[in-house]
Amino acid sequence: MTVEVGTLLQQWRSRRSISQLDLAYEVGVSPRHLSFVETGKSRPSPTLLHALAERLDIPLRERNSLLLAAGHAPRYSEEPLDSETMTRVRAEVGRLLDAHNPNMGMALDRAWNVVLANDTAMRLLSLLPEELQARPVNLFRASLHPDGFARMTHNFDEWAAYLLDLLRRMVRITGDERLAALEREVSSYPTVAGLDGGGVSSRSGEAGSLLVPLELSLGDQVLSFFSTLTTFGSPRDVTLEELTIELFYPADEPTERWVAMMQG
């Protein structure tokens, strides 16, 4: 079903908690004109839609939807990561991930499906049961499913709480129904539904605990990692804007020694 551009703008304005009056003044149009746009009495120009999208911080994929709903051509390309156009980007991301071995590193799309991974990350993903290894591997699903990494995550409650908060923020920011469906799915897992008090363990309040670590029980060892998330600056392509690179690092000395041993 086609949604009118005015309805889409109303939805985004509501998500961002900004009044019609404030939005109109901030983008330099009259409140009357913006009201006409939202009620369908006036067709917005691409320039006005760009200004509104900038102020409302609308992702590129949804900006294309706005343009199409208003009868304009989409402005932003969406090149698959394995396309010829993306050859250089794919190669550089691959080099970055490979250079991060023996630490885990992977590239994720908007829904946190793994699109590229280094050798260490691939070895970890190979520990998943066959049904969770189906391509593309979804990191939210793999991390929170009772048969996935949940069974080996030593601090599952606090790590799951972090992941759920991240997923819910992504849903709010994008308004993507696919992400909302993923949130509903993982929230129904018994491992997640059984979380108490938001899933934050008592250890998270300890002095010196600056980050929520990922603690994995591998054999008789508990390895602790923290992660960084990197995105592309000033993207003009939907795929690039939605691509996130996650790199894991040792969070304590025993894990650092284990990584060094793996490297040797």
Contact status, residue 179 vs residue 111, Cβ threshold 8 Å? yes
Residue 260: pLDDT band (50, 70, 90) is confident
Whether the predicted pLDDT of 135 surpasses 80: yes
DSSP string of 19-32? -HHHHHHHHTS-HH
pLDDT(111) > 90:
yes
Query: Looking at residues 72-78, what average pLDDT do you find?
Result: 97
Q: What is the pLDDT of residues 172-183, one digit of tens each?
A: 999 999 999 999
Q: Report the candidate in 104, 81, 106, 118 with the shortest Cα–Cα distance to residue 238.
A: 81
Mean per-residue pLDDT for 215-238?
A: 94
Calculate mean pLDDT across residues 29-43: 96
**What distance lies between CA 157 and its chain's CA centroid?**
20
Whether 161 shows a pLDDT value over 70: the answer reads: yes
Q: Is 124 helix (H, G, I), strand (E, B) or coil?
A: helix
**pLDDT score of 1:** 58
Cα–Cα dist 183/239, whole Å: 21
User: How much is the pTM?
Assistant: 0.90
Give dist(CA 107, CA 231) in Å, integer.
Answer: 10
Q: Which two tokens stand for residue 14?
A: 């509501």
Instruction: Using the predicted structure, report yes or no on whether residue 151 has a pLDDT greater than 80.
Output: yes
Q: What is the 3-state secondary structure (H, E, C) of 49-97?
A: HHHHHHHHCCCHHHHHHHHHHCCCCCCCECCCCCCHHHHHHHHHHHHHH
Q: What's the confidence (pLDDT) of residue 200?
A: 43
Asked whether the predicted pLDDT for residue 202 surpasses 70, the reply is no
What pLDDT sits at residue 205? 43
Domains identified in the chain and CATH numbers? 5-70 (1.10.260.40), 84-263 (3.30.450.180)
pLDDT of the residue at 218: 87
> pLDDT over 90 for what percent of the chain?
87
CB 114 within 8 A of CB 106: yes
100: left (phi over 0), alpha (psi -120 to 50) or beta: alpha
Does residue 204 register a pLDDT over 70? Answer: no
Distance CA 57, CA 12 (A): 9
